[in-house]
Amino acid sequence: MRFGDLLFMSAASLWKRKVRTILTVLGVVIGTASIVVMVSLGLGLNRSTMATIEENGGLTSIEVREANSYMEGDSTNQEPKRLDDTLVETLKANPHVELVSPVLSISVIAKCGVYENQLEIRGMSGEALEQMGIPLASGEVPVSEDELAFLYGNQVLAGFMNSKTGAGFWSDGTIPEIDFEKDAIFLIYDMDSYYNSQGNSENNGQSVKPPKKYLANYAGLAEGGMDTYKSYSWYVYCNIVPLENHLKRIFKGKLIPGQPSTASGKPYKQFYYNEIYAEVDDMEYVGEVQKWITDMGYQTYSNTEWVDSTKKQYGYIQAVLGGIGAVSLVVAAIGITNTMMMSIYERTKEIGVMKVIGCDMKDIRTLFLMEAGFIGLIGGILGLLFSAFISLLINRVVAGMGMEMGLSYIPAWLAGASVLFAVFVGMTAGFFPALRAMRLSPLAAIRRG
Amino acid sequence: MKNTAAVITVKDLYKIYRVGETKVRALNGVEFAIRRGEFCSIVGASGSGKSTLLNMLAGLEKPTKGEIVIAGEHMERKNENELVRFRQAHIGFIFQSFNLMDTMNAVENVALPLTFQGMERKKRTKKAEAILDMVGLGSYKNHKPTQMSGGQQQRVGVARALVVEPEIIFADEPTGNLDSRTSREVMELMQRVVREKRQTLIMVTHDNELAGFADRIFHIRDGKIIKIEEQMGRETG
């Protein structure tokens, strides 16, 4: 028999028994929908966690730091391996590493009128700053290597405090009236001298000259309110090249705060970095690259382990939820088998006649398999639509509770797989009835006549 | 004559059913040969073994012992799959209770054996329509079986048996569900068609009058052929 004829005949015999077909299909609809909804909940949870990880520094970035020497024993015995330009070059040579930037971080005091704040400045390469993709409310990313300009995180403003009244965002919720772009903001790099000069009235009365203040050029401001926390929210970013030059000019051969010193307390010629930021081309290689760096004697940190454990955890959740859903599909499969068996008893004569007038045994089997497959297919498609509707409903409810991303998520593969699976279940359920139909004796038709 | 070679040869055929402890000999040593183009009736009372014989000829039942050679092939040596294939190509079947598919119209019912053969829709529909015209149902092509009388339904049944142009047609009490007038009409139709196409028709019946339409009549009783009657004055082709 031709495939088209087989399809048509099996569809026709389902159509002939509409009510029974609909009831059987309904079972598959419920089964498919419960699996899809359950799995979509697991996937949704997974997705929102992944998004959280993404916000916390991405999935492909690695932070390299100095190994904790005090962990290994006496720090004086062993100089820790420092982060320098040589290491930056080494990392750049790795084919899986797309981008490497040293991070020079330094704490400074910022003053703007009566407001005061301690800022954490992070100097990075212009390329890396762009790669971070910080969304900007205004201004631009400080890529220029000639001029020192600052990009403020969206929560930096909240750290400013009125030095006279002590009022600030964290104490009474008032947002300081500072416009980073228009107001003059002064930075004090030598914090030790500053605190010494502040404290002199209470101390022994010896006056210490307050350190010099420098005007900070504005580059940009990150998007977001005081409440939206992102990995960059608290920092002030600038290009590392002008920052290094600026620091050298300010401290003129003296020890720059945060930089290591020789045994005799003298500064080194070159800068050592607090951190090196490396971006790997694919999540797959993060672990590999990380191990490579660790083996060189540095401490590394990435979100890979977090991602791995999260994936594992949500894998279990999905399996459990999917298993619960699968129970109802099993029940539906039994329903299909039952329907097909009844159909065969009812059509014993018809099957016999078909055999007598020359229908191949395997065609009879195919006809019944197709009928069962059709029940699965229709049930699968309707079940998918139904679960899409439920998913929409769930997401609307949780959106009302503040989950923007939604709890239920049906990706294309889940949609496709669920329909295929429903067809598969249908055909499996119809397999033994189909064999039975194939083996029916044609004589039964004549005898019953 | 040139075409008198046997199309069916039955040798030493036995069918023994076991009912509890006792053995029932449904066929007890049957032998005969049927020539191409012959119309044969098998007549006997109920329980005489005539239906068993027909079932075995059509390959629906296996003999206990003996040989059935149809168109040069041994039926008793075929498995079920091969039998289906053989019927598809060589045999047409007419049932007592018509056994049409209720969901299909006349054309689709007639074309069903062609569908099983894998013939494409256009071709088989054309063929089925031609046969329906031949059996006089040209204006009932799109009627469903439930919209037709018994006689009309059996004409569709006859058309369905003829559509594959089989060498042999088996008919099991083809008029058993029809009144006598319609019976005659159907019998005449079968007789005419078989003559025109030089096909072999083997009909089982318990009605002696209907059996008289045939060229030869096999009388069967207790599993044995007791008499073969030649209808004189009839053309045997």
Instruction: State pLDDT tens for residues B172-203.
Output: 889 888 888 889 988 998 888 888 888 999 99
- Whole-angstrom distance, CA of residue B88 vs CA of residue B91: 6
| The predicted structure's pLDDT at residue B2 | 40
Whether B11 maps to a domain, the answer reads: no
Say if residue B4's pLDDT is above 90: no
Whether B91 maps to a domain, the answer reads: yes
Across A113-240, where does the E strand assignment appear?
115-124, 136-139, 149-152, 161-162, 186-188, 214-215, 217-222, 236-239
| The predicted structure's pLDDT at residue A137 | 87
| The predicted structure's pLDDT at residue A21 | 92
Best CA proximity match to A183, nearest among A223, A140, A152, A142? A152
- Please judge whether B87 and A1 are an interchain contact, meaning their C-beta atoms are less than 8 angstroms apart: no
Q: What percent of chain B has pLDDT over 90?
A: 44
Range in A56-60, A244-248, A331-335 the model is least confident about: A56-60
Q: Which residues of B158-191 are buried (b: 16+ CB within 10 A; e: fewer)?
A: bbbbbbbebbbbbbbbbbbbbeeebbebbbebbb
Whether B205 maps to a domain, the answer reads: yes
User: A166 phi and psi, to 5 degrees?
Assistant: 80, 5
A2, A349, A443 ranked by CB distance to B118: nearest: A2
- Whole-angstrom distance, CA of residue A390 vs CA of residue A404: 17
Structure tokens at A425: 């279940």
All residues of chain A having their beta carbon less than 8 Å from the beta carbon of residue B172 are 446, 449
Test mutation, A351, A357, A439, chain B, max B CBs within 10 A:
A357
For residue A426, what pLDDT band results from cuts at 50, 70 and 90? very high
- Whole-angstrom distance, CA of residue A435 vs CA of residue A41: 38
A4, A5, A358 ranked by CB distance to B113: nearest: A358
Best CA proximity match to B59, nearest among A346, A449, A446? A446
Whether B109 maps to a domain, the answer reads: yes
A283 vs A436: which has the higher pLDDT = A436
How many structural domains are present in chain B? Answer: 1
B228 vs A254: which has the higher pLDDT = B228
| The predicted structure's pLDDT at residue A374 | 94
Whether residue B58 lies within 8 A of chain A, CB to CB, comes out as yes
Say if residue A73's pLDDT is above 50: no
| Bridge partner residues of B10 (DSSP) | B32, B68
Question: Coil, strand, or helix at residue A262?
Answer: coil
Q: In the predicted model, what is the mean pLDDT of chain A?
A: 84
Say if residue B61's pLDDT is above 70: yes
Amino acid at A26: L
- Whole-angstrom distance, CA of residue A115 vs CA of residue A168: 9
ipTM: 0.89
Alpha carbons within 13 angstroms on the beta-carbon side of residue A306 total: 16
A384 vs A205: which has the higher pLDDT = A384
| The predicted structure's pLDDT at residue B132 | 93
Alpha carbons within 13 angstroms on the beta-carbon side of residue A387 total: 29
| The predicted structure's pLDDT at residue B236 | 46
| The predicted structure's pLDDT at residue B123 | 94
Whether B55 maps to a domain, the answer reads: yes
Domain that holds residue B133: 36-60+79-230
| The predicted structure's pLDDT at residue B237 | 41
| The predicted structure's pLDDT at residue B107 | 94
Q: Rounded to whole angstroms, what are the CA distances from B45 to A352, B31, B50, B208, B219?
A: 25, 19, 8, 10, 9
What are the contacts of A173-181 at 24+ separation with CB within 8 A? Answer: A175/A226, A176/A115, A178/A112, A178/A113, A178/A115, A180/A152, A180/A218, A180/A221, A181/A138, A181/A139, A181/A218, A181/A221
Question: Coil, strand, or helix at residue A165?
Answer: coil
| The predicted structure's pLDDT at residue A199 | 61
For A121-134, how does the pLDDT look when each residue is reduced to its tens digit (9 = 90+)?
999 988 888 888 88
- Please judge whether B112 and A357 are an interchain contact, meaning their C-beta atoms are less than 8 angstroms apart: yes
Q: B83: domain CATH number?
A: 3.40.50.300
User: A395 phi and psi, to 5 degrees?
Assistant: -65, -35
Whether B68 maps to a domain, the answer reads: no
Q: What percent of chain A has pLDDT over 90?
A: 18
Say if residue A74's pLDDT is above 70: no
Chain B residue with minimum CA distance to A361:
B81
All residues of chain A having their beta carbon less than 8 Å from the beta carbon of residue B121 are 4-5
A11's enclosing H/E stretch is helix A3-16
Q: Number of Cβ pairs closer than 8 Å across A and B?
A: 71
All residues of chain B having their beta carbon less than 8 Å from the beta carbon of residue A350 are 101
For residue A53, what pLDDT band results from cuts at 50, 70 and 90? confident
| The predicted structure's pLDDT at residue A200 | 53
Say if residue A51's pLDDT is above 50: yes
Whether B31 maps to a domain, the answer reads: no
Question: Coil, strand, or helix at residue A116?
Answer: strand
Tokens 């053989």, residue? Answer: B86
Whether B86 maps to a domain, the answer reads: yes
- Please judge whether B160 and A445 are an interchain contact, meaning their C-beta atoms are less than 8 angstroms apart: no
- Whole-angstrom distance, CA of residue A372 vs CA of residue A343: 11
Q: What contacts B192, CB < 8 A, 6 or more positions away?
A: none
pLDDT, mean of residues B46-61:
88
All residues of chain B having their beta carbon less than 8 Å from the beta carbon of residue A16 are 102-103
Where would I find the H helices in A160-274? 169-172, 191-199, 240-251
Q: In the predicted model, what is the mean pLDDT of chain B?
A: 88
Range in A138-142, A398-402, B99-103 the model is least confident about: A398-402
B80, B102, B117 ranked by CB distance to A361: nearest: B80
- Whole-angstrom distance, CA of residue A386 vs CA of residue A367: 28
Best CA proximity match to A231, nearest among A151, A94, A132, A305? A132
For A167-196, how does the pLDDT look when each residue is reduced to its tens digit (9 = 90+)?
777 777 778 888 888 888 888 888 877 877
B221's enclosing H/E stretch is strand B216-221
Test mutation, B46, B61, B84, chain A, max A CBs within 10 A:
B84
Best CA proximity match to B222, nearest among B83, B50, B59? B50
For B113-169, how does the pLDDT look when each residue is reduced to its tens digit (9 = 90+)?
999 999 999 999 999 999 999 888 989 999 999 999 999 999 999 999 999 989 999
| The predicted structure's pLDDT at residue B69 | 93
